[in-house]
Amino acid sequence: MPEMLLDLERLVLVESPSSDLAAVARSADVVAEIGGRRIGFAPERIVLDGCTHLRWHLGSPEPDAPRVLLLAHHDTVWPIGTLETHPFSLQDGVIRGPGCFDMLTGLVMAVHAAAHLGHHPDAALTLLVTGDEELGSPTSRAMIEQEADGCVAALVLEASGDGGALKIGRKGTSNYRVEITGRAAHAGLEPEKGLNATLEIAHQVGVVAQFADASVGTSVTPTLIHGGTTVNTVPAHASVEVDVRALTAEEQHRVDDRFRSLTSSTGARVAVHGGINRPPLEITATEGVWRRARAVADELGMSLPEAIVVGGASDGNFTAGVGVPTLDGLGAVGGGAHADHEHVMVDDIPARTALLMGLIRDLLGIDASATDA
C-alpha cells in the first residue's frame, strides 16, 4: 500500500486534461516510469494524432494463449491549475485530488496487479493505458478494439459504483450537432426578408427531445445551443448539441434514423453532424465475468454489492461491442467523478486489487501460488 499510494500521488500531481496533448504526454512519461519500474520493462509508447497511449504485453506471445486485457486511462477532465484549489491530500483514510477517483487509482491498481502476476509462459496479459478516454477515445478506439479481439475478457479499471458496486451495463452514447442555415436581415428595417435560424433551432430542439423513450432507458438531451450574431440582425446561423444515451444498439439506431430524417419547418437548411459514438455495454456481455468475479470475491472473503447499470460510457463499451466479455467498475471505491468532492477510500484499495488479481488468475487459469515476476 505505501508504494501504491506514492505512485497515485505522483500521478495526481501531473495534471492531464484530455485536450492538452502536451500535458497528456507528460502524464504518459510518469505512467511509463512508474509502470516500467513496477512491471520490470518499459511500455510501448503509441502516439496517435498527437495523443499518447501506453501498452504492456506480458506473458506468452503465442496467439492461441488465453489473454486478458486490462483497460485504464491516464487523462482526466480537470484543467491545468486545478491542483491549486484541489490539492492532493490523504487524510482520515480518504484521498482527494483531481482524477484520483476517475481513474488514476484504478490505473495504479492495474499496474501493481500486472507487476505482481508477472510472466506466465502459457497465458498473456495486456495492460493498455489510453490518453483520450474522457473525449470519447477518438484516437484510441481502433487500438482498444484490436487489443480486445480474441481476449478471454476485458477488465476495465474505471471507478466503482456506490459502495464498490461493479458495473455490468453501460448505456451507449451518441452525439449530434444540428445546424441551421437561414438568411440574415436587419431586424428593424426588414425582418420579413430574413429567415430566422433561431426560430428554426427552437423548433428542432422540441422535435429531437421527443426522440427520447424513458420506458426503455433512452435519453435525448439538448445541451449547448448557439445562434445569431448581433441583437439587431435576423440570425442566419444556429446550432444545438445533443447528447443521446441508450441501453441497446437497437435504440441507438432508432434515434440515429430519426436524426437523419429531420426536416425544416421554415425553409431554412437543416444539417445533422455526428452520430453513434460508443455502443452499449449490454448485460449479456458481462454476466459471465460477473459470476466469476463473485466467486473470486467469495474465495477472498469479500462481500460484493449487487452490480449496477449506469448511464455513463467507458472504453468497456468498445470491447463489449466487438463481442469480448467485459466487466467494468473494478477500480476505486469513493465518489465525486468530475466533481469538486472527488475522493477515494484508502481502505478499499487492497481488497479491490486482490479481487482484480484473483479474477485475472481465474480467467487465465493461473494457479494462485504461481506469481513469476
Output the pLDDT for position 369.
Answer: 61
Residues 260 and 286 both lie in one domain: no
Give the number of domains in the chain.
2
Output the pLDDT for position 118.
Answer: 85
What band does 368 get if pLDDT is binned at 50, 70 and 90? low
Average pLDDT over residues 265-284: 96
The string of pLDDT tens digits covering residues 68-79 is 999 999 999 999
270: domain CATH number is: 3.30.70.360
pLDDT at 49 over 50: yes
Residues 231 and 217 both lie in one domain: yes
Residues 178 and 302 both lie in one domain: no
Residues 264 and 319 both lie in one domain: no
Q: In what order do the strands lie in the sheet with 89-91?
A: 89-91, 94-96, 343-345, 334-335
Residues 117 and 151 both lie in one domain: yes
Average pLDDT over residues 7-35: 98
What band does 119 get if pLDDT is binned at 50, 70 and 90? confident
Average pLDDT over residues 57-76: 96
Question: Residue type for 59, please?
Answer: G
The string of pLDDT tens digits covering residues 128-154 is 999 999 999 999 999 999 999 999 999
Question: Which residues are catalytic, by number?
Answer: 75, 133
Query: What value does the mean pLDDT of the chain take?
Result: 96
Q: Are 59 and 65 in contact (CB under 8 A)?
A: yes
Of the three residues 278, 305, 331, the one that is the final residue of a domain is 278
Range of the domain at 249: 172-278
Which grid coordinates are listed for 365? 487459469
The string of pLDDT tens digits covering residues 23-45 is 999 999 999 999 999 999 999 99
What percent of the chain shows pLDDT beyond 90?
A: 97
Average pLDDT over residues 56-73: 96
Q: Are 99 and 157 in contact (CB under 8 A)?
A: no
Average pLDDT over residues 264-275: 97
In a domain, 373, yes or no: no
104: nearest Cα among 129, 79, 68: 129
In a domain, 200, yes or no: yes
Distance CA 169, CA 135 (A): 20
In a domain, 371, yes or no: no
- Confirm whether pTM is higher than 0.85: yes
Average pLDDT over residues 178-183: 98
Output the pLDDT for position 180.
Answer: 98
The string of pLDDT tens digits covering residues 198-227 is 999 999 999 999 999 999 999 999 999 999
Output the pLDDT for position 373.
Answer: 41
In a domain, 369, yes or no: no
pLDDT at 104 over 70: yes
58: nearest Cα among 35, 29, 82: 35
Q: Are 303 and 130 in contact (CB under 8 A)?
A: no
Which grid coordinates are listed for 234? 435576423
In a domain, 372, yes or no: no
In a domain, 335, yes or no: yes
Average pLDDT over residues 229-248: 97
The string of pLDDT tens digits covering residues 290-320 is 999 999 999 999 999 999 999 999 999 999 9
Of the three residues 245, 278, 311, the one that is the final residue of a domain is 278
pLDDT at 55 over 80: yes
244: nearest Cα among 320, 192, 295, 176: 176
pLDDT at 372 over 50: no
130: domain CATH number is: 3.40.630.10
